[in-house]
Amino acid sequence: MIGVIDYGMGNLYSVSKALERVGVPYFVSEKPEELKEADAFILPGVGSFGDAMDNLRYTKLDQLIHDMVSEGRLLLGICLGMQLLFEESEENGTASGLGLLKGKAVRLKAEDEKGNKLKVPHMGWNRLSFHNESPLLTKTEQGYAYFVHSYYIDGMEENALLASADYGVRVPAVVGKRNVFGAQFHPEKSSTVGMSILTQFTKMVAEQKVKK
């Protein structure tokens, strides 16, 4: 059973519908005592990094996440939820993140290296390029994913970069280290690519349960 973490800033409806499409049992909760019963977790997110972290700390869901990750349970962050996995963000000053992965969320540049203007926020489809192998990814996923964001992760560990997209800079699109994973784009809006990632995540959860 996957627990979708509700801290007041997640795209819960679309994530829930996507999980229903891949046929995985899940529940949505804001209560740490309920979420402790989940086999794995999804951390969605839309909005401001600092506000999101404030909500997680206020509800003590940040501690739950750290505890469950320490126990080896799988975690998948989506969009803002992926950025929250890292150490900090420069959005509206500097805000500390969960610190589960090394790196910092910085604002996308308004032009590329050749001086071509870019719209920020970045909204649209971008092709993924693969970097490191992971059970979260399959060969069929080297297609296009749908992004909506103004910040990207800089300074992350290369071995944690699973896939990237190009938008003036290299944008980490899928990340993963040990049992912590993230997708900068919206899997639930990314057609075959997104559904494949959610399906692979559920398979990883099932395999983890068998090993236990």
CA atoms within 13 A on the CB side of 168: 17
Catalytic residue among 79, 88, 122, 141: 79
Distance CA 135, CA 191 (A): 19
Phi-psi region of 127 (alpha: psi -120 to 50; beta: other; left: phi over 0): beta
Catalytic residue flag (residue 188): yes
- Cα–Cα distances in angstroms (integers) from residue 199 to residues 1, 23, 104, 118, in the given order: 13, 9, 28, 33
Catalytic residue flag (residue 207): no
CB distance 22 to 69 below 8 Å: no
Distance CA 188, CA 57 (A): 27
Output DSSP code: residue 116: -
Query: What tokens were used for 26?
Result: 């899940």
Catalytic residue flag (residue 33): no
Catalytic residue among 131, 141, 186, 207: 186
Per the listing, tokens 């803002």 go with 80
So which residues are the catalytic ones? 79, 186, 188
